[in-house]
Structure 1
Amino acid sequence: LESYASIFNVVEKVRPDEFYHLAAQSFVSYSFEDEFSTILSNINGTHYVLSALKQKAPDCRFYFAASSEMFGKVNESPQNENTPFNPRSPYGISKVAGFHLTKNYRETYGLHASSGILFNHESPRRGAEFVTRKITSQAARIKLGIEERIKLGNLEAKRDWGFAAEYVKAMWIMLQQEKPDDYVIGTGECHSVKEFLEAAFHYVELDPDKYLEIDETLYRPSEIMLLQADASKAKKALGWVPEVSFKELVKLMVDSDLKRFS
């Protein structure tokens, strides 16, 4: 992502029909620790891809993975495509820049470039450093007698969590549209980290309070307390609606980790 020549050469060789730009430094907490690599890879990487497509594959349909973190400290809920951006992390800032780069290439050069403003999307493949996977993996490991404690930071932060596979389908649908556009993708439901913890531990018949340890070092320097999607535009224009419920999502992640660690 940090080499324009590499990206240019790949685009020139492959001449893609569709390009899903999902590569990024995507761990919000880490973006506070290493602002420079986050900004460099996320902003420049997006710019490099768009520039290469403009020159070598101008008919390619491009998808940019925007993020609910762009909304940041919100003054209105739920958030839709018209909600002002107010990012509170280097990651969020980098995604706002990528969003505007994508829009600029669409409006200035005529690229079929769309952004999906995705709210938190989870699956058993979620990285172990993310709070949802930390919760489900520790619930499984504690149930299996491998671990005894789980350390978490802010339990009160609320997010709109959905199933990643359904969100990937939304990405594909966006690029099948005649005209490119930007869409918020989310469930419209909001749950706290504490609710996610309780759902996971209760599923394996454990009391989370017996195993929980609050670690203040895991708090973000600038926390976003609430993000909730209004995906009515995607429902109307794309026919996209989420089907996996919050509890079903937690269960499938815990089941996967139980199998993984057994």
Structure 2
Amino acid sequence: MIKSRRRALICGIGGQDGAYLAKLLLEKNYEVMGTSRDAEGSSFNGLIHLGIQNQVQIVSMSIDDMGSVLSVIKSFLPDEIYNLAAQSSVSLSFDKPFEAMQSIAMGTLCMLEAIRFIDHPIRYYSAGTSECFGETDSIPATEITSFNPKSPYAVAKVTSHYLVANYREAYKIYACTGILFNHESSIRPDRYVTKKIIKAACKISAGSKDKLYLGNIDIARDWGSAEEYVEAMWLMLQQPFPEDFIICTGETNTLQDFVSTAFKAVNLNWVEHVVTDPALLRPTEIMVSRGDPAKALERLGWHAKCKMRDVIDLMIKAQQSVR
């Protein structure tokens, strides 16, 4: 008897992580369904860029609408659900905090309740974030480090994290949270600072007289590769028991390091082209974010191959190819 293909539902398939995860799962012979709030009106540029838009089924679903979530899950009956949907911008969450809490926390609750209601074995992945830890200074965060969120986005993600933990314990649902540190790629949307930096560097190197306006460049983050990080998501759902994992490179650099490296890659001195704009400063800011990926290596056998400089090289090459 031929075993049927495993099914995966990716909520938020139109984003960077959703597109790379869909590609990975298709390569593993999954049947993939993706959701978007507006399946007909969304562009799905990531799927198009990866050449897989015709290999996945896409449906509309409101992540914070229980009826919508329940209907999609019941019709598809996936083996695995990856919740990558909801608001994904720290900056935007300061302007739209209600949207952050509604889409992230209520979205997670709707997903968990739907899984609890449906009599079908489903493994659930929830997208967490390093923003939950707040300031880490010189001590890398581990899976048992206390949370200290500094933005509405992070507060909503903390709520989501504890909902997953509660449903895992109370209802024995296979549910886990991937606490991912910053991860980038060539299909990162332009509104993110890393893509903004890469585009500006390439544009200026091609002759533009524009300046790059940034906020606080003294902040330090751990930047990795989105394409590598989605493999860690998949690995989490292949374990005998559900657990939460930090996914990061273990290397922290300042945003100034990122800018300097990007401009150096196109033979420019960043100091001549970058302007600090106070209007871009956030109401509260995490200055240093560090993570310890030891558990992911020990339990999942996963470690980051691409560090910040590798990611920048890949993004620069991709950006230059579209000029």
> What TM-score range do you get, normalising by the shorter chain?
over 0.9
If each structure's helix is expressed as a fraction of its own residues, which one has the higher value?
Answer: 1
1:21 paired to 2:58 = no
> Could you tell me which of 203, 206, 217 is aligned with 2:265?
203
Q: What's the C-alpha RMSD, in Å, of the aligned pairs?
A: 1.1
Distance in 2 between residues matched to 1:141 and 1:24, nearest whole Å: 31
Alpha carbons 2:115, 2:122 under 8 Å: kept: yes
Please tell me whether the aligned partners of residues 74 and 86 of structure 1 are also in contact (alpha carbons under 8 angstroms). Answer: no
Deviation for aligned residue 1:57: 4.9
Matched, 1:32 2:89: no
1:189 to 251, 254, 260: 251
C-alpha separation in 2, matches of 1:70 and 1:225? 13
| Aligned counterparts of 1:65 and 1:169: Cα–Cα separation in 2 | 13
Q: TM-score, normalised by structure 2?
A: 0.79
**Residue 107 of structure 2 corresponds to residue 41 of structure 1:** no
Whole-Å separation in 2 of the counterparts to 1:87 and 1:246: 24
Identity value in percent: 41
Q: Is the counterpart of residue 55 in structure 1 residue 117 in structure 2?
A: yes
Structure 2: distance between partners of 1:120 and 1:178:
27
Contact 2:138 2:290 in 1 (8 A): no
The Cα shift of 1:186 comes to 0.3
CA displacement, residues 95-154 of structure 1 (integer Å, 9 cap, x when unaligned): 000000011111011111011100001111112111111100111111122452100010
Counterpart AA for 1:100 = Y
Equivalent position amino acid for 2:122 in 1: C
- Shift, 1:37, TM fit: 0.7
Partner of 2:142: 80
**In the alignment, structure 1 residue 116 sits paired with structure 2 residue 116:** no
Structure 1 runs of 4+ aligned residues shifted over 3 Å read none
1:62 and 1:175 in contact (8 A); partners too: yes
Distance 1:143 1:46 in 2: 43
Deviation at 1:257, TM superposition (A): 1.3
Larger RCO: 1 or 2 (CA < 8 Å, sep 6+): 1
Question: Which amino acid letter does the alignment assign opposite residue 144 of structure 1?
Answer: A
1:11 aligns with 2:76: no
Q: Unaligned stretches of 5+ in structure 1?
A: none
Separation in structure 1 between the aligned mates of residue 119 and residue 278 of structure 2, nearest angstrom: 48
- Structure 2: unaligned runs, 5 residues or longer: 1-62
Deviation at 1:91, TM superposition (A): 0.3
Give the whole-Å Cα distance in 2 for the aligned partners of 1:55 and 1:212.
Answer: 53
